[in-house]
Amino acid sequence: MKERLLEFLRNENKSSAQLAEEIGVQASGISHILSGRNNPSLDFVLKMLEKYQFLSTDWLLFGKGSMYKENKMQNLFGYDPGNSRETNEILTKSEQIRPEIDFQNVIKNKAFDDSIAHTEKTVLGVVKIVWFYENNSFEEFIPRR
């Protein structure tokens, strides 16, 4: 199960300390599991499944099927993290195709113009900025209020 836990941490871009905090266990307990010293307890597994309801029980316990339940929401980029090794191979190829955006046509779009008019009437504040990197990591910036 330690391999599946490592795979989960990689796919979710989490550290073992973040996982420990999120599910309410000691970081040392996760360290012992990842080092192979201890097996995860039933309490640990239940806490993971309760916190991460999108996680497949069969996958976590037995390594069967996909990491994520079938009815999970797609992530921002529309690929299945359960197949991330395959996806990462595709994304790292130098001949990947990036769509070109014709901003002149976007600006001429009436729906876009209507949204600009609405935005100009209502002052909107930036809540959060997120940068996504090619290595599937990200950074968040939350401006001071």
41-72 pLDDT, tens digit per residue, is 999 999 999 999 999 999 999 999 889 887 54
Q: Is residue 87 part of a domain?
A: no
Instruction: Kindly report the average pLDDT of the chain as a whole number.
Output: 75
101-115 pLDDT, tens digit per residue, is 555 555 555 555 555
Which of 19, 53, 71 finishes a domain? 71
What domain range is 127 assigned to?
Answer: 103-141
Provide the 3-class DSSP secondary structure of residue 130: strand
Separation of alpha carbons 134 and 110, rounded Å: 33
How sure is the predictor about 95, in pLDDT bands with cuts at 50, 70 and 90?
very low
For residue 93, pLDDT beyond 90: no
8 Å CB contact between 138 and 130: yes
Which of 18, 50, 71 finishes a domain? 71
